Structure 1
């Protein structure tokens, strides 16, 4: 049985001078019928005015969990180097309970040097950050099994990235959702590499969902044919324009007219 197509909106917590603007954007997104609401994990804007406003990721996720009723929620993605991984597992378990079992634990190796420098984390190299991500995923997995009370269910792990030797191996071992930036040809190539890693670790490739950025209605069908089931659309403050989200939802509903 094929998975349903899902539309996620990333309410980026940048350039919003007040949190109520974010709260309203989340409300509008859920009322429109989005499947997931994501934010991002940065301490400064990553586009636009670099000195603009930003709110912290996981505090915001707890608020979204309490505010919403139906949407899945998570960070796209948490920076592995920003928090002790055992604490992060505990935070994820807690937010999952607050939401009634709707959290997606998105995580990646991190890339935005200013976050590291200004908050006192070691930036290192791509290799050292990936090594830390590998260590963190093992510790998160172990801690989630020890927490009392436990998570409400298996918390799905979303890993962002497309590195063929290291990142995709971590996807094969730990991820329930793989988010990457790719057109159809690149996605299919990387999926072949991912299949090889899955075979090495004894994982069924079909258990890993594929997620990409929304390419527009004209290009989306080809990505679905390539196995994509989740599309991400980003929206920035202060206005949080959701018109592209609305168009994507119309496309989704046209593909699945019997969707409940």
Structure 2
């Protein structure tokens, strides 16, 4: 009975009268926000209003995405609907209070860490949740911020920067894989190492082999053997493996592989 009543209430909410009072129009709630905010349609345009019909943002965009992340909501004008999907023409950004942060102008947007990576005129930049530029578009390649650190490319090298565009690490890398569990693999002069998001190298460079972090542990090869490294760079198991994988089973993390010709599983 409770499930039936919940579905009924959802149906009623989705069939409220539009703010213009002209006719009943379907509405879509914005996901991932505490206060209920709806997308409504009027004269072929979309806007926002609250649960009692008060307009938050007058209808003006062709599309408003029914999801928010770190305070950002994507909007567009000039795109098209294809089946159950929407193809953006240009990306804009608003928030759930109805503030237009940026009108549709970006070719690409990726949100993370209370900021948005944006692409405009073939260059990447970053904006904050208030609609101000953190860093205006200037990079040919870049990735979103992760715990306050981003990877950007300049003059063929990759650098770690913070949200004030200051260098987190002074080392120019040939490649940065991207952060996972707070750690990234970096490459310099065909050698591999681990660096944390604060820019600290937590391993020496190795020519032999390396893997990305899984379950907060990585693998690095030395003298033909694989070793387990944690997020501080500590070698967790003294002896090396001939083959190795990091597994998560029943809430525990294990190093599984072959050591000394025998199969072993060691809890980390």
TM bucket normalised to smaller: under 0.3
Report the structure number with the largest CA radius of gyration: 2
TM-score normalised by structure 2 residue count: 0.25
| Bigger share in strand | 2
| Bigger share in helix | 1
**Relative contact order, CA 8 A, sep 6+: which one is greater?**
1
